[in-house]
Structure 1
Amino acid sequence: MAHSHFLISATSSDGGKTTFTLGLLRLLKRRGMRVQPFKCGPDYIDPKYHALACGEVSVNLDGYMMSPEHIRDLYERYSHGADVSITEGVMGFFDGYDRMAGSSAALSELMGLPVLLLVNAGSTAYSVAPILYGFKHFRPAVAPVGVVFNRVASPSHYEYLRAAAEDAGIVSLGYLPKMENVSVPSRHLGLSTENMAQYRELPDRVADAIEQYVQVDKLLELTERVSTPRLNVKTDEPSSSSTIIAVAEDEAFNFTYRENLRRLSEWGQIVRYSPIRDKHLPEGCDFLYLPGGYPEFFLHELSANESMRRSVRDYIESGGRTLAECGGMMYLCSEINGMDGLSYPMCGVLEERCTMEGMRLHLGYRRLLYGGRELRGHEFHYSTTEGTTPSAGEQYDVRGRRVDTPLYRYKNLLAGYTHLYWGEEDLRSWFD
């Protein structure tokens, strides 16, 4: 059976990848097709938009945190049975953490994914010809199969762009005109998943434009390949174990990787709960996962729920195994000093004070050495911790430079700012 597989990328970060991807996902879903979205890189927000657009949980594919074999396995696992698999790229096509390493181009080359290139044509015309020529010839193995121009002023403007693509030897598949109120928020502290509801109509508006101005059928034809039936595709079967794995999930805590959760489900039964609304941890909890998110926007609610804070503290103090990442780690501190300058009591497990004062972005991939293991993850936060708790591990950036990001170990708790990936790991061994 034939399926379409392709990666959507752009010449730069402002090319409109996410907006176009959402519109195309929605359009294909409206046609009755089963679409599986993927996201290149460690981003948590774009996958949420993907799910908003097509109803399918997106899967991250990351060239730093994952081995090539694991990336292939993930893609085959989750694209199996889909009519179309669409991967949204990261930054500009060739932008990686070290030259091309970890880039959309590297992922495309690894997976043999055809590339649809988006070009922001808002302030240019025929000058895109040498840009397209360069993208075609710089790395021929990942030359774009087609280009779509974004923010086009008029049909006559598009004719200049189409001629440029023709002279560069790349198929032009259409364009999107300049449109008002169709962009998604940039990655900044003010973005909360709680307000994503206001963007529910955005995919339909973009889908309408794509249907009118882009040759979608030709795109699907250019990216079609025959899928060989796989006999070893694993299905997600519920674990027969009685182990209860409590996963925090609400407005404050929701930054999770799909494959991380699937690996947890192999270990036991996942029970989701809300630190904002529930009064205590799930009954019989054997493992607690507090992922990242935006607790800084819900400090009053989290602090006011004293019974939940006490339940979490009692569980950890009694030796319960716990992994807390970024926002989850913040929740375990003695208090959080918010953006309003006020201090809010938290769980008090860690003798650390977390503060939003003097906010500064801490961002990048991390290699973490802990207990003779090498873990990998990604750091993205504005807050800092203040205290004297020593770090149980060492962390390094992609250039091998040591960073001062701590990893806290207290009893059977592991906590830190780094969002870890364990799709290829046995998480239980971290607590030996």
Structure 2
Amino acid sequence: MPQFLIAAPSSGSGKTTVTLGLLRALANRGLKVQPFKCGPDYLDPMHHKIAGKNTSINLDTFMASKGHVKQLYQKYASEAEVSIAEGVMGLFDGAEKMQGSSAEIAALLGVPVILVINANAMAYSAAALIYGFKNFNKNIALKGVIFNNVKTASHYTFLQDACLDVNVEALGYLPPQEDITIPSRHLGLSTSSDIDFDALCERIAASISNTVDLDRLLEITTGPVLNVETPVPSVKLPAKKPKIAVAFDEAFSFTYHENLEAFLRLGEVTLFSPLADEFLPECDLLYFAGGYPELFLEQLSQNKSMLHAVRTYCQRGGKTYAECGGMMYLGKSVIDTTGKEFEMVNFLHLTSSMENPKLHLGYRNIAIQDFVIKGHEFHYSTCLELENTAILPCIITNAKGVAVPSSVYKKQQTIASYLHLYWGENTGFILRILNGTI
């Protein structure tokens, strides 16, 4: 079947725009399209789902084993008619050299690469760029190029000549258009409900269908899907299925599909909204993912019934796990960018501040007790530890093994941190929380 990875020389080249347009254009043909996203990103998969009308799956060779990534790809790709993976950053950019890069994933899965190049102010010099990306690593099969920001058809002829001379197909281009620009926000692409992403995807798809040879793209990327053995689960499931309540709304939505799938393997999952609901579902484990609570501070703060329900649950020893925005919500308060303070659950001895935002970003290894789990950190807020803040003993390092100034907090049966963890491959971490052994 047709399968390929959309990559680029660098971030900002147009990977996401091209990916969304291709997903929608092919879905409009009646094809079942399976989106994937390389790396730990949450926002791109949300938009993939809108564009391709199918859940997007993260592929990350830092947070998960290569075997797990291959199994995920086979599982979801084998149920589709076309598979499209969007790369992360530049093609060869990884946590350390190529580790976790789009190139590593393309080679691992045996899928060809389609390169997106921002051709603004570029003509025949594209040949040298394409030649370098084609020949830098022989494990990568660069099959074609789609150019972005091509102003005229005559401009495109120079780019076609460049492709011809390095024996890589020019598949088409996107002209610069204001109405297909993807809005940005402080943590990346926007998730605001006031933006009609469905209509945006239609506009991008229409543009791509006019100037990109979709039939040729599908033809040159057709090949067999990776075939790997399905592993036998090694984790012993609880005798009685636990009830797991997952906060999921516009404020809390940054979680991996496979993390939720792991919850479903363990027990019964109920979604609820800290923004709109008044009460908690009955549960044995309460999970708050990260997200954009800082954009909904007034609404969260005014939902006194939910704040009280969560605080009471935690105070009574209810098992709770919270990540990033979820941790901010469980704290005493959150201070917005103007210095205004909003009361939150007031269980953890923490206050989070969006004043003077500073980016904290990177992969993380977390060694707790006798096991290691991996994830990443991505936030602009600062955590202000108050008196009596309890910190869980653990060692946190980045992708190169260097210690980072992050903490995991624990109070009674509640565990929280800025870290987004991946347990889709191994549910042992969640079982330890359920068993009260962390």
Scaled by the length of structure 2, the TM-score of the pair is 0.93
The answer to whether the 8 Å contact 1:407/1:415 transfers is yes
Q: How does 1:99-114 map to 2 (within 5 A)?
A: 99-114=97-112
Q: Are 1:395 and 2:396 counterparts?
A: yes
Residue-by-residue CA offset, 1:201-227 (whole Å, 9 max, x unaligned): 111111112111111111111111235
1:293 corresponds to which residue? 291
CA distance in 2: counterparts of 1:264 and 1:107, whole angstroms: 26
Residue-by-residue CA offset, 1:365-407 (whole Å, 9 max, x unaligned): 1111112221111111111111252421221111222111110
Counterpart code for 1:391: I
SS at the partner of 2:23?
A: helix
Identity of aligned residues (%): 46
CA distance in 2: counterparts of 1:362 and 1:93, whole angstroms: 23
Per-residue deviation, 1:356: 1.3
Residue-by-residue CA offset, 1:290-340 (whole Å, 9 max, x unaligned): 000011111111111111111111111222111100000000001111223
Which residue of 76, 88, 97 maps to 1:90? 88
Residue-by-residue CA offset, 1:90-134 (whole Å, 9 max, x unaligned): 111111111111110011011111100111111110001111111
Q: How does 1:363-382 map to 2 (within 5 A)?
A: 363-382=361-380
2:245 corresponds to which residue? 246
The answer to whether the 8 Å contact 1:241/1:267 transfers is no
Residue-by-residue CA offset, 1:38-70 (whole Å, 9 max, x unaligned): 000001110011011121110100121010000
Per-residue deviation, 1:229: 8.4
Counterpart code for 2:3: H
Q: How does 1:2-151 map to 2 (within 5 A)?
A: 3-151=1-149
Moved more, 117-126 or 220-229: 220-229
Per-residue deviation, 1:185: 3.1
Counterpart code for 1:96: G
Q: Are 1:361 and 2:364 counterparts?
A: no
1:272 corresponds to which residue? 271
Note the aligned Cα RMSD (angstroms): 1.9
Q: How does 1:183-332 map to 2 (within 5 A)?
A: 183-186=181-184, 188-189=186-187, 192-195=190-193, 197-227=195-225, 242-282=241-281, 284-332=282-330
CA distance in 1: counterparts of 2:423 and 2:226, whole angstroms: 29
Per-residue deviation, 1:199: 2.8
Label 1:229 to 1:128 Cα distance change in 2 as closer, same or farther (>3 A): closer
CA distance in 1: counterparts of 2:252 and 2:30, whole angstroms: 32
CA distance in 1: counterparts of 2:62 and 2:245, whole angstroms: 28
CA distance in 2: counterparts of 1:175 and 1:16, whole angstroms: 11
Per-residue deviation, 1:31: 0.3
Label 1:155 to 1:90 Cα distance change in 2 as closer, same or farther (>3 A): same
The answer to whether the 8 Å contact 1:337/1:344 transfers is yes
CA distance in 1: counterparts of 2:410 and 2:149, whole angstroms: 50
Which residue of 164, 170, 173 maps to 2:171? 173
Counterpart code for 2:41: D
Scaled by the length of structure 1, the TM-score of the pair is 0.94
Counterpart code for 1:128: A
Per-residue deviation, 1:77: 1.3
**Structure 2 runs not aligned, ≥5 long:** 233-237
Q: Are 1:416 and 2:425 counterparts?
A: no
Label 1:228 to 1:365 Cα distance change in 2 as closer, same or farther (>3 A): closer
Question: Which consecutive aligned stretches of 4+ in structure 1 deviate over 6 angstroms post-superposition?
Answer: 228-231
Label 1:216 to 1:185 Cα distance change in 2 as closer, same or farther (>3 A): same
Per-residue deviation, 1:148: 1.1
The answer to whether the 8 Å contact 2:44/2:189 transfers is no
Which residue of 347, 352, 358 maps to 2:345? 347
SS at the partner of 2:314?
A: helix
The answer to whether the 8 Å contact 1:240/1:268 transfers is no
Residue-by-residue CA offset, 1:264-307 (whole Å, 9 max, x unaligned): 0111111110111111101x211111000011111111111111
SS at the partner of 1:246?
A: strand
The answer to whether the 8 Å contact 2:184/2:190 transfers is no
Label 1:402 to 1:333 Cα distance change in 2 as closer, same or farther (>3 A): same
CA distance in 2: counterparts of 1:227 and 1:137, whole angstroms: 24
Per-residue deviation, 1:230: 8.3
SS at the partner of 1:301?
A: helix
Which residue of 417, 429, 432 maps to 2:432? 429
CA distance in 1: counterparts of 2:215 and 2:28, whole angstroms: 14
Residue-by-residue CA offset, 1:322-364 (whole Å, 9 max, x unaligned): 1100000000001111223111111111111111122111111
CA distance in 2: counterparts of 1:196 and 1:11, whole angstroms: 32
CA distance in 2: counterparts of 1:328 and 1:144, whole angstroms: 41
SS at the partner of 2:178?
A: coil
CA distance in 2: counterparts of 1:409 and 1:423, whole angstroms: 23
The answer to whether the 8 Å contact 1:76/1:233 transfers is no
CA distance in 1: counterparts of 2:345 and 2:203, whole angstroms: 44
Per-residue deviation, 1:429: 2.0
CA distance in 2: counterparts of 1:151 and 1:228, whole angstroms: 34
Per-residue deviation, 1:240: 10
SS at the partner of 1:391?
A: coil
